[in-house]
Amino acid sequence: MKTILITGSTSGIGLGIAREFAKTKQYNIVFNGLEPNGPEIAEGVGKEFGIQVMFSPANMMKPEELKKMVDDAIVKFGAIDILVNNAGIQHVSPIEDFPEDKWNAIIAINLTSVFHLTKAVWKGMKERKFGRIINIASAHGLVASEFKSAYVAAKHGIVGFTKTIALEGAPFNITANAICPGYVKTPLVEKQIADQAKAHQMSEADIVNKVMLYKQAVKEFVPVEVLGQLALFLASEGATTLTGTALPVDGGWNAQ
Ligand code: NAD
């Protein structure tokens, strides 16, 4: 059994990825997130698929909590083989009004936590000569949209970090890849629809059709299962030479 730690896995994309790994019954899963019912969500997936799970409420803004989460997981499962850096937040605002505390939180949660967690799992992966780091970036790791300065900066940062880690990990069979989804209908996006409606002064229906999906050639939200299946492949033993990439799953948004 391999062990996978997925940050922000008690909601949205992280939970979707966890469920795809759980279905294979080949992984212990370390869940994490700020949802108050996180322990029940983790336990529910464990029971549904008959696998071992753990839950940690570690806050991505607190490096000491991240280190403790990794240490606790290693005590319980012996190792972390796959790290999925997925936790993230968004704030939509024109630059002149962008609150400084939101900028700092987005950089800390969406980018700096990726550094701390990668550092914390690195030694063990290197020793075992196996590691898979999967970073959930975004189409916004490759292109920008207005009113998302902090998010776009953090996601471009993740893509650069992923490339660096891929180079450092190559001698030890540690791969690093970024998945760059287009729009996925999760609580994060539900909130954005409301925020963007305010920023653009448009109705919520128009935001979905004329702003969000306007940029995708495929006019559909990306299913979490597709991201989970891609993560499964990236995590597999055979995927050693697939490293240092930023893979768009964005309905053709980046083809334009
Ligand atoms: P979500 O809001 O459904 O889930 C986010 C998860 O992160 C939650 O479990 C939440 O508790 C956790 N989290 C937030 N702040 C945290 C903190 N300080 N400490 C620990 N956990 C924290 O959002 P989602 O849409 O599933 O987003 C997951 C990732 O996917 C994010 O990095 C996001 O930027 C990225 N993404 C989302 C979309 C989309 O359209 N939904 C598109 C591209 C990329």
Q: Is 151 a catalytic residue?
A: yes
Atom of ligand 1 nearest to the CA of 13: 26
Ligand 1 pocket test, candidate residues 186, 193, 226, 247, most atoms within 8 A of CB: 186
Pairing type for strands 246-249 and 27-32 reads: unpaired
- The alpha carbon of 171 and the centre of ligand 1 are apart by a number of angstroms equal to 31
- Per-residue pLDDT tens listing for the chain (256 residues): 999 999 999 999 999 999 999 999 999 999 999 999 999 999 999 999 999 999 999 999 999 999 999 999 999 999 999 999 999 999 989 999 999 999 999 999 999 999 999 999 999 999 999 999 999 999 999 999 999 999 999 999 999 999 999 999 999 999 999 999 999 999 989 988 988 898 889 999 999 988 889 999 999 999 999 999 999 999 999 999 999 999 999 999 999 9
Residue 30 token pair: 């370390």
Give the list of residues 6+ apart from residue 25 with CB closer than 8 angstroms, or none: 49, 50, 51
Among protein residues, the one with the nearest Cα to ligand 1's atom 3 is 12
Exposed e or buried b per residue across 182-193, where buried means at least 16 C-beta atoms within 10 angstroms of its C-beta: bbbbbeebeebb
Please say whether the beta carbons of 13 and 38 come within 8 A: no
Q: Which residues line ligand 1 (CB under 6 A)?
A: 8, 10-14, 33-35, 59-61, 86-89, 109-110, 136, 138, 181, 183-184, 186-189
Which residue among the candidates 27, 151, 183, 214 is catalytic per the annotation? 151
Tell me the pTM.
0.97
CATH 3.40.190.10 fits 2-182+223-255, yes or no: no
Q: What is the pLDDT, as a whole number, of residue 191?
A: 87
- The alpha carbon of 85 and the centre of ligand 1 are apart by a number of angstroms equal to 10
φ, ψ of residue 223 to 5 degrees: the values are -70, 140
* Cα separation, 206 vs 45, whole angstroms: 36
